[in-house]
Structure 1
Amino acid sequence: MKKIILYILGASLAWSCQIKPVDDAVTAVGEKGWLKGNTEEKMEEIAHQLGGFSRTMIEVSYRYSELYWAGMDENWAYADHQVEHIVEAMEDGLKRRPVRAASAESFMKETLPEMEAVISKKNKDDFILGFRALTSGCNGCHAKEGESFIMIQEPETRLSPVRF
Protein backbone atom coordinates (compact mmCIF):
# COMPACT_ATOMS: atom_id res chain seq x y z
CA MET A 1 0.00 0.00 0.00
CA LYS A 2 2.82 2.44 0.88
CA LYS A 3 4.43 1.79 -2.50
CA ILE A 4 1.20 2.70 -4.31
CA ILE A 5 0.80 5.95 -2.35
CA LEU A 6 4.43 6.90 -2.98
CA TYR A 7 4.00 6.10 -6.69
CA ILE A 8 0.87 8.28 -6.91
CA LEU A 9 2.56 11.15 -5.03
CA GLY A 10 5.65 10.90 -7.25
CA ALA A 11 3.59 10.85 -10.44
CA SER A 12 1.53 13.84 -9.23
CA LEU A 13 4.65 15.78 -8.39
CA ALA A 14 6.24 15.04 -11.76
CA TRP A 15 3.05 16.10 -13.57
CA SER A 16 2.69 19.35 -11.55
CA CYS A 17 6.27 20.40 -12.34
CA GLN A 18 5.43 20.38 -16.04
CA ILE A 19 2.67 22.97 -15.69
CA LYS A 20 3.67 26.40 -17.01
CA PRO A 21 3.14 29.25 -14.49
CA VAL A 22 0.00 31.29 -15.07
CA ASP A 23 1.79 34.61 -14.38
CA ASP A 24 3.96 34.23 -17.47
CA ALA A 25 1.15 35.77 -19.51
CA VAL A 26 1.90 39.08 -21.17
CA THR A 27 -0.06 41.79 -19.35
CA ALA A 28 0.59 45.46 -18.83
CA VAL A 29 0.50 46.90 -15.32
CA GLY A 30 1.20 50.22 -13.69
CA GLU A 31 -0.33 53.59 -14.46
CA LYS A 32 -1.43 53.53 -18.10
CA GLY A 33 0.21 50.10 -18.47
CA TRP A 34 3.81 51.29 -18.65
CA LEU A 35 5.17 47.97 -17.32
CA LYS A 36 4.70 45.43 -20.09
CA GLY A 37 5.74 41.90 -20.94
CA ASN A 38 5.87 38.58 -19.20
CA THR A 39 7.05 38.27 -15.60
CA GLU A 40 10.73 38.03 -16.52
CA GLU A 41 10.54 41.08 -18.81
CA LYS A 42 8.75 43.08 -16.10
CA MET A 43 11.38 42.14 -13.53
CA GLU A 44 14.15 43.20 -15.92
CA GLU A 45 12.44 46.55 -16.45
CA ILE A 46 12.02 47.05 -12.70
CA ALA A 47 15.72 46.26 -12.20
CA HIS A 48 16.56 48.78 -14.92
CA GLN A 49 14.37 51.41 -13.26
CA LEU A 50 16.12 50.85 -9.91
CA GLY A 51 19.42 51.47 -11.63
CA GLY A 52 22.91 50.45 -10.74
CA PHE A 53 25.45 52.01 -8.47
CA SER A 54 25.23 55.50 -9.95
CA ARG A 55 21.75 55.90 -8.44
CA THR A 56 23.15 54.69 -5.13
CA MET A 57 25.79 57.41 -5.33
CA ILE A 58 23.12 60.06 -5.86
CA GLU A 59 21.53 59.12 -2.54
CA VAL A 60 24.88 58.76 -0.78
CA SER A 61 25.92 62.18 -2.06
CA TYR A 62 22.78 63.77 -0.65
CA ARG A 63 23.22 62.04 2.69
CA TYR A 64 26.94 62.89 2.77
CA SER A 65 26.05 66.59 2.50
CA GLU A 66 23.31 66.29 5.11
CA LEU A 67 25.76 64.50 7.40
CA TYR A 68 28.25 67.33 7.05
CA TRP A 69 25.71 70.03 7.90
CA ALA A 70 24.28 67.96 10.75
CA GLY A 71 27.77 67.81 12.27
CA MET A 72 28.32 71.51 11.73
CA ASP A 73 25.00 72.17 13.50
CA GLU A 74 25.91 69.62 16.20
CA ASN A 75 22.64 67.85 15.45
CA TRP A 76 23.99 64.44 16.43
CA ALA A 77 20.73 62.54 16.05
CA TYR A 78 20.39 63.80 12.47
CA ALA A 79 24.05 62.99 11.77
CA ASP A 80 23.55 59.45 13.05
CA HIS A 81 20.40 59.20 10.91
CA GLN A 82 22.38 60.14 7.81
CA VAL A 83 25.10 57.55 8.42
CA GLU A 84 22.43 54.90 8.94
CA HIS A 85 20.92 55.78 5.57
CA ILE A 86 24.31 55.87 3.86
CA VAL A 87 24.85 52.31 5.09
CA GLU A 88 21.41 51.24 3.81
CA ALA A 89 21.90 52.90 0.43
CA MET A 90 25.32 51.30 0.03
CA GLU A 91 24.02 47.86 1.02
CA ASP A 92 21.17 48.13 -1.48
CA GLY A 93 23.53 49.34 -4.20
CA LEU A 94 25.94 46.50 -3.52
CA LYS A 95 23.10 44.00 -3.89
CA ARG A 96 22.46 45.40 -7.37
CA ARG A 97 26.17 45.67 -8.23
CA PRO A 98 28.06 43.06 -6.21
CA VAL A 99 31.12 43.62 -8.41
CA ARG A 100 31.68 46.83 -6.40
CA ALA A 101 31.78 45.00 -3.05
CA ALA A 102 35.54 44.45 -2.94
CA SER A 103 36.23 48.17 -3.42
CA ALA A 104 33.64 49.14 -0.82
CA GLU A 105 34.63 46.58 1.83
CA SER A 106 36.90 48.78 3.96
CA PHE A 107 34.52 51.71 3.58
CA MET A 108 31.61 49.61 4.84
CA LYS A 109 33.47 47.73 7.58
CA GLU A 110 35.83 50.44 8.84
CA THR A 111 35.12 53.95 7.58
CA LEU A 112 31.38 54.08 8.28
CA PRO A 113 31.61 52.45 11.74
CA GLU A 114 34.39 54.92 12.61
CA MET A 115 32.09 57.78 11.56
CA GLU A 116 29.35 56.36 13.80
CA ALA A 117 31.81 56.25 16.70
CA VAL A 118 32.83 59.86 16.08
CA ILE A 119 29.19 60.98 16.06
CA SER A 120 28.56 59.21 19.37
CA LYS A 121 31.21 61.46 20.99
CA LYS A 122 29.08 64.52 20.15
CA ASN A 123 32.15 66.69 19.69
CA LYS A 124 32.35 69.03 16.70
CA ASP A 125 36.15 69.04 16.48
CA ASP A 126 36.21 65.23 16.46
CA PHE A 127 33.42 65.25 13.90
CA ILE A 128 35.40 67.48 11.53
CA LEU A 129 38.38 65.11 11.68
CA GLY A 130 36.12 62.08 11.28
CA PHE A 131 34.32 63.66 8.35
CA ARG A 132 37.65 64.29 6.62
CA ALA A 133 38.48 60.61 7.11
CA LEU A 134 35.08 59.71 5.65
CA THR A 135 35.80 61.93 2.65
CA SER A 136 39.15 60.19 2.16
CA GLY A 137 37.34 56.86 2.35
CA CYS A 138 34.94 57.94 -0.38
CA ASN A 139 37.78 59.05 -2.62
CA GLY A 140 39.73 55.86 -1.89
CA CYS A 141 36.80 53.74 -2.98
CA HIS A 142 36.45 55.77 -6.17
CA ALA A 143 40.15 55.27 -6.90
CA LYS A 144 39.80 51.49 -6.40
CA GLU A 145 37.05 51.53 -9.01
CA GLY A 146 39.23 53.44 -11.48
CA GLU A 147 37.12 56.56 -11.02
CA SER A 148 39.55 58.82 -9.20
CA PHE A 149 38.24 61.65 -11.37
CA ILE A 150 35.28 61.69 -8.94
CA MET A 151 36.81 63.69 -6.08
CA ILE A 152 34.60 64.30 -3.08
CA GLN A 153 35.10 67.43 -1.00
CA GLU A 154 33.39 68.94 2.00
CA PRO A 155 30.19 70.72 0.97
CA GLU A 156 30.38 74.48 0.65
CA THR A 157 26.68 75.20 0.18
CA ARG A 158 23.78 73.88 2.19
CA LEU A 159 20.94 72.80 -0.07
CA SER A 160 18.57 71.23 2.42
CA PRO A 161 16.12 73.23 4.52
CA VAL A 162 16.83 71.01 7.56
CA ARG A 163 18.22 73.03 10.45
CA PHE A 164 18.78 72.34 14.14
Structure 2
Amino acid sequence: MKKLGVILLSSILIYSCQPQENTTAVGPEGWLEGNTEEKLDEVAHQLGGFSRTMVEVSYRYSELYWAGMDENWGYADHQVEHIIEAMEDGLKRRPVRAESSKTFMEETLPMMEEIIKKENKEEFIKGFQMFTSACNACHAKEGESFIMIQTPENRTSPVRF
Protein backbone atom coordinates (compact mmCIF):
# COMPACT_ATOMS: atom_id res chain seq x y z
CA MET A 1 0.00 0.00 0.00
CA LYS A 2 2.85 2.38 0.87
CA LYS A 3 4.44 1.63 -2.52
CA LEU A 4 1.15 2.42 -4.26
CA GLY A 5 0.95 5.75 -2.38
CA VAL A 6 4.50 6.68 -3.47
CA ILE A 7 3.67 5.80 -7.08
CA LEU A 8 0.44 7.78 -6.95
CA LEU A 9 2.14 10.81 -5.37
CA SER A 10 4.98 10.60 -7.91
CA SER A 11 2.48 10.45 -10.76
CA ILE A 12 0.61 13.49 -9.43
CA LEU A 13 3.86 15.45 -9.06
CA ILE A 14 5.07 14.48 -12.53
CA TYR A 15 1.72 15.38 -14.09
CA SER A 16 1.46 18.68 -12.22
CA CYS A 17 4.98 19.68 -13.30
CA GLN A 18 4.20 19.11 -16.97
CA PRO A 19 3.25 22.25 -18.85
CA GLN A 20 -0.48 22.26 -19.40
CA GLU A 21 -1.81 23.75 -22.62
CA ASN A 22 -3.93 26.76 -21.78
CA THR A 23 -6.81 27.20 -24.19
CA THR A 24 -8.60 29.85 -22.17
CA ALA A 25 -9.55 32.84 -24.27
CA VAL A 26 -7.83 36.05 -23.19
CA GLY A 27 -8.05 39.74 -24.00
CA PRO A 28 -11.07 42.01 -23.82
CA GLU A 29 -14.14 39.88 -24.42
CA GLY A 30 -11.88 36.87 -25.05
CA TRP A 31 -10.85 37.76 -28.60
CA LEU A 32 -7.57 35.81 -28.36
CA GLU A 33 -8.45 32.14 -28.47
CA GLY A 34 -6.81 28.78 -29.00
CA ASN A 35 -3.76 27.05 -27.62
CA THR A 36 -0.55 28.93 -26.92
CA GLU A 37 0.81 28.48 -30.43
CA GLU A 38 -2.44 29.66 -32.01
CA LYS A 39 -2.52 32.70 -29.72
CA LEU A 40 1.08 33.59 -30.59
CA ASP A 41 0.33 33.21 -34.31
CA GLU A 42 -2.61 35.59 -33.93
CA VAL A 43 -0.52 38.13 -32.02
CA ALA A 44 2.15 37.93 -34.75
CA HIS A 45 -0.56 38.49 -37.35
CA GLN A 46 -1.88 41.49 -35.41
CA LEU A 47 1.63 43.00 -35.28
CA GLY A 48 1.79 42.71 -39.04
CA GLY A 49 4.71 42.71 -41.38
CA PHE A 50 6.81 45.52 -42.70
CA SER A 51 3.89 47.58 -43.95
CA ARG A 52 2.92 48.36 -40.35
CA THR A 53 6.52 49.35 -39.71
CA MET A 54 6.36 51.75 -42.64
CA VAL A 55 3.21 53.38 -41.24
CA GLU A 56 5.09 54.27 -38.06
CA VAL A 57 8.24 55.29 -39.93
CA SER A 58 6.16 57.53 -42.19
CA TYR A 59 4.69 59.31 -39.19
CA ARG A 60 8.13 59.66 -37.58
CA TYR A 61 9.62 60.87 -40.89
CA SER A 62 7.09 63.74 -41.06
CA GLU A 63 7.61 64.63 -37.42
CA LEU A 64 11.38 64.59 -37.96
CA TYR A 65 11.03 67.04 -40.81
CA TRP A 66 8.86 69.48 -38.86
CA ALA A 67 11.08 69.18 -35.80
CA GLY A 68 14.03 70.25 -37.94
CA MET A 69 12.08 73.11 -39.46
CA ASP A 70 11.18 74.27 -35.95
CA GLU A 71 14.77 73.72 -34.81
CA ASN A 72 13.39 71.50 -32.06
CA TRP A 73 16.49 69.30 -31.94
CA GLY A 74 15.40 67.24 -28.96
CA TYR A 75 12.20 66.28 -30.76
CA ALA A 76 14.12 65.57 -33.97
CA ASP A 77 16.48 63.25 -32.09
CA HIS A 78 13.46 61.60 -30.48
CA GLN A 79 12.01 60.86 -33.91
CA VAL A 80 15.22 59.30 -35.22
CA GLU A 81 15.40 57.09 -32.11
CA HIS A 82 11.87 55.89 -32.77
CA ILE A 83 12.54 55.33 -36.48
CA ILE A 84 15.47 53.11 -35.50
CA GLU A 85 13.31 51.24 -32.99
CA ALA A 86 10.46 50.75 -35.46
CA MET A 87 12.85 49.56 -38.17
CA GLU A 88 14.59 47.12 -35.81
CA ASP A 89 11.24 45.70 -34.70
CA GLY A 90 10.05 45.44 -38.31
CA LEU A 91 13.26 43.70 -39.36
CA LYS A 92 12.74 41.11 -36.61
CA ARG A 93 9.37 40.31 -38.16
CA ARG A 94 10.65 40.49 -41.75
CA PRO A 95 14.37 39.66 -41.76
CA VAL A 96 14.21 39.31 -45.55
CA ARG A 97 14.19 43.14 -45.64
CA ALA A 98 17.50 43.41 -43.74
CA GLU A 99 19.79 43.42 -46.76
CA SER A 100 18.02 46.25 -48.57
CA SER A 101 17.80 48.34 -45.39
CA LYS A 102 21.43 47.83 -44.35
CA THR A 103 22.75 51.13 -45.75
CA PHE A 104 19.77 53.00 -44.32
CA MET A 105 20.27 51.49 -40.86
CA GLU A 106 24.07 51.65 -40.75
CA GLU A 107 24.76 54.91 -42.60
CA THR A 108 21.69 57.06 -43.16
CA LEU A 109 20.23 57.00 -39.66
CA PRO A 110 23.60 57.64 -37.94
CA MET A 111 24.17 60.50 -40.42
CA MET A 112 20.86 62.07 -39.35
CA GLU A 113 21.79 61.69 -35.70
CA GLU A 114 25.06 63.54 -36.32
CA ILE A 115 23.34 66.31 -38.27
CA ILE A 116 20.80 66.81 -35.50
CA LYS A 117 23.61 67.13 -32.93
CA LYS A 118 24.94 70.11 -34.89
CA GLU A 119 21.66 71.97 -34.42
CA ASN A 120 22.02 73.70 -37.77
CA LYS A 121 18.83 74.11 -39.80
CA GLU A 122 20.59 74.51 -43.16
CA GLU A 123 22.57 71.31 -42.64
CA PHE A 124 19.42 69.59 -41.48
CA ILE A 125 17.60 70.53 -44.69
CA LYS A 126 20.43 69.10 -46.84
CA GLY A 127 20.66 66.01 -44.66
CA PHE A 128 16.91 65.50 -44.80
CA GLN A 129 17.05 65.53 -48.60
CA MET A 130 19.67 62.75 -48.45
CA PHE A 131 17.51 60.95 -45.89
CA THR A 132 14.54 61.11 -48.27
CA SER A 133 16.67 59.81 -51.15
CA ALA A 134 17.81 56.92 -48.97
CA CYS A 135 14.19 56.03 -48.21
CA ASN A 136 13.42 55.94 -51.93
CA ALA A 137 16.57 53.93 -52.69
CA CYS A 138 15.53 51.32 -50.14
CA HIS A 139 12.06 51.11 -51.68
CA ALA A 140 13.65 50.63 -55.11
CA LYS A 141 15.84 47.80 -53.76
CA GLU A 142 12.67 46.09 -52.60
CA GLY A 143 11.05 46.46 -56.03
CA GLU A 144 8.67 49.09 -54.71
CA SER A 145 9.95 52.18 -56.48
CA PHE A 146 6.33 53.24 -56.95
CA ILE A 147 6.49 54.30 -53.28
CA MET A 148 8.14 57.71 -53.66
CA ILE A 149 8.72 59.63 -50.48
CA GLN A 150 8.72 63.42 -50.65
CA THR A 151 9.30 66.20 -48.18
CA PRO A 152 6.12 66.72 -46.13
CA GLU A 153 4.00 69.69 -47.13
CA ASN A 154 1.46 69.69 -44.31
CA ARG A 155 1.70 69.12 -40.60
CA THR A 156 -0.63 66.55 -39.14
CA SER A 157 0.66 66.68 -35.57
CA PRO A 158 -0.10 69.41 -33.04
CA VAL A 159 3.50 69.31 -31.72
CA ARG A 160 5.13 72.73 -32.04
CA PHE A 161 8.25 74.29 -30.59
TM-score higher than 0.5:
yes
Deviation track 1:55-84 (CA, whole Å, cap 9, x = no partner) reads 000000000000000000000000000000
In structure 2, distance between residues paired with 1:146 and 1:20: 48
Q: Does residue 67 in structure 1 map to residue 84 in structure 2?
A: no
Superposition deviation, residue 20 in structure 1: 5.3
* Aligned counterpart, 2:5: none
Aligned pairs (5 A) from 1:113-152: 113-152=110-149
* Aligned counterpart, 2:4: none
SS in 1 for 2:153: coil
* Aligned counterpart, 1:32: 29
Q: For residue 35 of structure 1, what is the amino acid of its counterpart?
A: L
In structure 1, distance between residues paired with 2:23 and 2:18: 13
* Aligned counterpart, 2:19: 21
TM-score by length of 2: 0.89
In structure 1, distance between residues paired with 2:131 and 2:95: 22
Superposition deviation, residue 21 in structure 1: 2.2
Deviation track 1:106-159 (CA, whole Å, cap 9, x = no partner) reads 000000000111111100000000000000010000000000000000000011
In structure 2, distance between residues paired with 1:160 and 1:57: 17
SS in 2 for 1:99: helix
Aligned pairs (5 A) from 1:26-105: 26-105=23-102
Q: For residue 101 of structure 2, what is the amino acid of its counterpart?
A: A
TM-score by length of 1: 0.87
In structure 2, distance between residues paired with 1:157 and 1:87: 23
In structure 2, distance between residues paired with 1:118 and 1:58: 24
In structure 2, distance between residues paired with 1:106 and 1:25: 43
SS in 1 for 2:108: helix
Q: For residue 43 of structure 1, what is the amino acid of its counterpart?
A: L
Q: For residue 49 of structure 1, what is the amino acid of its counterpart?
A: Q
Q: Does residue 159 in structure 1 map to residue 156 in structure 2?
A: yes
In structure 2, distance between residues paired with 1:150 and 1:110: 21
SS in 1 for 2:127: helix
Q: For residue 129 of structure 1, what is the amino acid of its counterpart?
A: K
Cα root mean square deviation, aligned: 1.7
In structure 2, distance between residues paired with 1:114 and 1:132: 12
Query: Which structure 2 residue ranges, 5 or more long, are not aligned?
Result: 1-9
Task: List 4+ stretches of structure 1 deviating above 2 A.
Answer: none
